[in-house]
Each structure stands twice: as structure tokens, then as C-alpha cells.
Amino acid sequence: MQPAPRKSVLVFRELPPDQLARLHAAHDVIVANPRKPEQLALFEQALPRVQGMIGSSYPVDAGLLERAASLEVISSISVGVDNYPLPALRERGITLCHTPGVLTETTADTIFALVMATSRRLVELALHVREGRWNRNIGEDLFGWDVHGKTMGIIGFGRIGQAVARRAALGFNMRVLYSGRRDVQAPGLEGKTTRVSLEALLAAADIVVLTLPLTAETRGMIGRGELQAMKPGAILINGARGAIVQEDALLDALNDGRLRAAGLDVFATEPLPLDSPLRLHPRVTALPHIGSATHETRHGMAELATTNLLQALAGERPAALYALG
Ligand code: DGY
């Protein structure tokens, strides 16, 4: 049998050495991270001749696709595909792959860490100790809020939303509501979750958690009206994408005391600009988009993305193909 022809692959974000070695064994590899100014020229030079691209966290727009005339496959090291121009990919017949599943539990852990941090004021109280302000027993002004027994409302009840629900219902005895177009039979949660309208969820939840993808429909969907419809003193957790929330409306809801706190792993602009009022807000716990950022999970994502790319370039169906419709 003839060996499969070698193709050219552009790696636009760091890959672990073992995964890079798998690519080198099968194809010609160019590593160029366009976020690094010194590598941008190499990235642009490579674009027209590569058949495959692998990476993440870089906006691949329709203009960039035009410069990538030989492109057959993009393998994203992410579950979210909001960085890619889906209609243009469909039109060009370019395959898109992503990394669902391998990051579910880790991302749910991060989201639950934000639930705990905001409710129990963990960052604020850890700073209290670190900065030498713990000179007497803390008083009510620094007390937190129980998580167990509360109501959680999850908007976006896919894999990650369901994994958060398992932690809430089974670990913390919480009542779990979710919104969405259809009933979901989440494994392990039989009889423990209820689908309600978005309005009912916002009105009833003590903690609202966003775990839905960013699309044209969800962009800006949590605005002034939705924040005002939340239960007074509720907490908002965003582990999805920053642009789902209108940040100016969120700031107002925090400032006027409507919301108790917000736990945010994602922002409309990332990295979060230094002058963003969310950065130093006393009732915001902000993380630098670390939903999936553990050694094990980031390696698992890189491995799945590499497998996807190798399969797609060999003309096979990739393990995690994103259906472009
Ligand atoms: C994902 O996989 O989509 C994470 O948010 C990282 O971008």
C-alpha cells in the first residue's frame, strides 16, 4: 500500500511535545503562533500552503480563510467554535473539529469553584488573612451565604451544564432548574432537575450559571432585563463566553445591589483590559478563562485535537467532527 501523502500543517498554538511528534511523523509541520508578534510573519507566509491548522484562542475570520487557499481541515483545541466563521467554512467545504467531552468535568469543577468562591467570599477572605487584617474574629459583615440547599438555575444544559448539575444536586443537595428547548434526561440526575422557562429560572434561582455556547442568538442574551428579572441577591456565574452577558448591565446590577456577586471565568474582551471596572469590583471573582486549564485536561484536549486532525487529513471521519450543517 502507498503511504498516505504528507501534507502541510500549521500549529498556531503550543502543542505538547508528544502530540507535536505525532504530527511530525505524518506531515510537514510549521509552528507559528500569530499572537506572538515575532511569529506573525511566519504564520502569514504559511497560510496559503497549509492543508491543516490546529490551535485555539485565535479569531479565524473569513478574511484569514481567504488567505488559506489550500486549507482542508481546522482542528480546534477547544469545545467552543465561536472563533471560526462557520458559514464560510461550510461554503468552502472545510472540515472543523473540536474537543467536546474531554474537558467536561474539569470545566464543571471550575464553575463550581466560582459558585463556592462567590457565595463564601473565599478570595476576599483569603486576602483578609494574607494582608494581615485578621486581628479579631470576623463579624457578620464578612459572613458568606450557604450553597447547599439553594436553587441553581443552569442556562445551557449540555454536557458541562449537566456536570455542574450533578455537583449541585448530588453533592450539595441543591434544587436544579434548567432552561432550554427540550427536556434532557441527564445521566445520574433522574427526577432531580426541572426544565422551566428562562423567565421562571431567573425569578427562582439563587445562583444562575451560564454554560451555553456563544452564537448569534446567545450574544448579549443576559442584559438589563434578564438581570433585573433575577431574584434579588442572586449570584451570576459565567463559565461560557463573556459576550453572552452585557457587561455594562452586569456592572449596574452589581452596583445597585440587585446581584450579590458575579463569578466570571470569561469576558467580552480577553485578556480582561486593565481598565475594565469588572477587574477590581469587590463583588466580582474574576478568573483568566481557566475552565479547562489543568495539566491533564489540556493534554487530553491536545491529544483529541491531534487525532482529529490526523484522521481528517487521512480522509477519515474525525473522532470529534463539528457538524457545520
Ligand atoms: C473551550 O474549550 O471552548 C474553552 O472555553 C477554551 O477556549
pLDDT per position as a tens digit, 180-201:
999 999 999 999 999 999 999 9
List for the chain the helix, strand, coil content (%; round to 5). Answer: 40, 15, 45
**Residue 4 pLDDT greater than 80, yes or no:** no
Per-residue pLDDT tens for 230-249? Answer: 999 999 999 999 999 999 99
Name the DSSP class of 13: S
**Minimal CA–CA distance to 302: which of 19, 28, 13, 52?**
19
Residue nearest to atom 7 of ligand 1 (CA): 78
Can you give the pLDDT at residue 1? 59
**Minimal CA–CA distance to 231: which of 247, 250, 207, 212?**
207
Q: What is the mean pLDDT of the chain?
A: 97
Query: Can 299 be counted among the known catalytic residues?
Result: no
Q: Which domains occur in the chain, in start order?
A: 8-102+296-313 (3.40.50.720), 104-286 (3.40.50.720)
- What span, in angstroms and rounded, lies between the C-alpha atoms of 196 and 174? 16
Can you give the pLDDT at residue 289? 98
- What span, in angstroms and rounded, lies between the C-alpha atoms of 242 and 268? 4
pTM (whole model) above 0.85: yes
Query: Can 195 be counted among the known catalytic residues?
Result: no
Per-residue pLDDT tens for 89-133? Answer: 999 999 999 999 999 999 999 999 999 999 999 999 999 999 999
Query: Can 49 be counted among the known catalytic residues?
Result: no
Can you give the pLDDT at residue 262? 98
Contact (Cβ atoms closer than 8 angstroms) between residue 116 and residue 237: no
Q: pLDDT band for position 285 (50/70/90)?
A: very high
Q: Which of 167, 289, 298, 303 is catalytic?
A: 289
Name the DSSP class of 4: P
Place of cell 445551557: 156
Place of cell 422557562: 197
Residue nearest to atom 3 of ligand 1 (CA): 80
Pairing between β-strand 175-179 and β-strand 193-195 as defined by DSSP bridges:
parallel
Task: Retrieve residue 195's grid coordinates.
Answer: 426544565
**Is there an atom of ligand 1 within 6 Å of 104 CB?**
no
- What span, in angstroms and rounded, lies between the C-alpha atoms of 274 and 122? 22
Contact (Cβ atoms closer than 8 angstroms) between residue 273 and residue 248: no
**Is there an atom of ligand 1 within 6 Å of 239 CB?**
no
Can you give the pLDDT at residue 212? 97
- What span, in angstroms and rounded, lies between the C-alpha atoms of 163 and 158? 9
**Is there an atom of ligand 1 within 6 Å of 246 CB?**
no
Per-residue pLDDT tens for 156-183? Answer: 999 999 999 999 999 999 999 999 999 9
**C-alpha 228: how far from its chain's center?**
25
Cβ burial 248-275 (10 Å sphere, 16+ → b, else e): ebbbebbeeeebbbbbbbbbbeeebeee
> What is the Rg, in whole angstroms, of the alpha carbon atoms belonging to the chain?
22
Can you give the pLDDT at residue 325? 81
